Amino acid sequence: DAGVIQSPRHEVTEMGQEVTLRCKPISGHDYLFWYRQTMMRGLELLIYFNNNVPIDDSGMPEDRFSAKMPNASFSTLKIQPSEPRDSAVYFCASTVGRAYEQYFGPGTRLTVT
Amino acid sequence: GENVEQHPSTLSVQEGDSAVIKCTYSDSASNYFPWYKQELGKRPQLIIDIRSNVGEKKDQRIAVTLNKTAKHFSLHITETQPEDSAVYFCAANYQLIWGAGTKLIIKP
């Protein structure tokens, strides 16, 4: 397996634009997590899915953020409109269960100017 | 709410010495305690984990100890090497709550 795949790897956009981050989990994994990492706030869990269903989105910072998982092999995290404070590295991770190793993707470095 | 406190935030040790990082959690239902290592510019990766039915687990130079009564678990790295330099994260509550991270610096 190629591991967790994320795209794009880098995204630079202007404030107010819509940003869509993509993730392909490892085949057979039924949990998918989205994280945001910054120097100031560390590693934050934004939302996680189980069998494509959002279970807990309490970490999503505000309504500008939304996430979907239309099928077992694809998830998106969307920010609309984007703001400079959204600049961060966004990681996607997948696992076979919450009490098992999470496999992280390479991350998407988002810069909002 | 549930939380995980991780200490210290930065740890500097001489190469060859031991390093210990501690996490304290609040959720009594937690029964899985992983440690992840994140090298600069890379993704977090699991290095060791422990479940609540054991008190200690070792893997070569790395060990994790768990005290469920006191609700804390610790990462121990012995004979530290330059490649141990990284940020280390603990997690609890079925990996829904993460520690703030510890930056480990190995001095040559």
Q: Do B95 and A98 touch (CB under 8 A)?
A: yes
pLDDT of B102 reads 97
List % helix, strand, coil for chain A (3-state, nearest 5): 5, 55, 40
Question: Is residue B41 less than 8 Å (CB to CB) from chain A?
Answer: no
Q: Rounded to 5 degrees, what are φ and ψ at B3?
A: -155, 165
pLDDT of A59 reads 92
10-residue mean pLDDT profile of chain A (113 residues): values are: 93 98 97 95 94 95 94 97 97 94 97 98
For chain B, give the longest Cα–Cα distance.
41
pLDDT of A101 reads 95
pLDDT of B28 reads 85
User: pLDDT higher for B56 or B1?
Assistant: B56
Residues in chain B within 8 Å Cβ distance of A42: 98, 100-101
pLDDT of A62 reads 86
Question: Is residue B35 less than 8 Å (CB to CB) from chain A?
Answer: no
pLDDT of B94 reads 86
- Candidates B95, B98, B102: best to mutate against A (most CBs of A within 10 A) is B95
Q: What is the pLDDT of residues B1-32, one digit of tens each?
A: 678 999 999 999 999 999 999 999 998 888 99
Q: Do A104 and B34 touch (CB under 8 A)?
A: no
Nearest residue of chain B to residue A55 (CA atoms): B96
Mean pLDDT of chain B: 95
Residues in chain A within 8 Å Cβ distance of B98: 42-45
Torsion B31-B6-B3-A64 (CA) sign: negative
Smallest CA–CA separation between B97 and chain A, in Å?
8
Q: Considering CB atoms only, which of A42, A45, A100 is closest to B96?
A: A45
**Which of A65, A68, A64 is closest to A53 using CA atoms?**
A68
Percent of chain B at pLDDT > 70 equals 99
pLDDT of B93 reads 84
Nearest residue of chain B to residue A47 (CA atoms): B96
Residues in chain B within 8 Å Cβ distance of A60: none
Size of the A and B interface in Cβ pairs below 8 Å: 41
* Residue B54 banded pLDDT, cuts 50, 70, 90: confident
pLDDT of A40 reads 87
Q: Do A48 and B96 touch (CB under 8 A)?
A: yes
Rounded distance between C-alpha atoms, residue B22 and residue A6, angstroms: 32
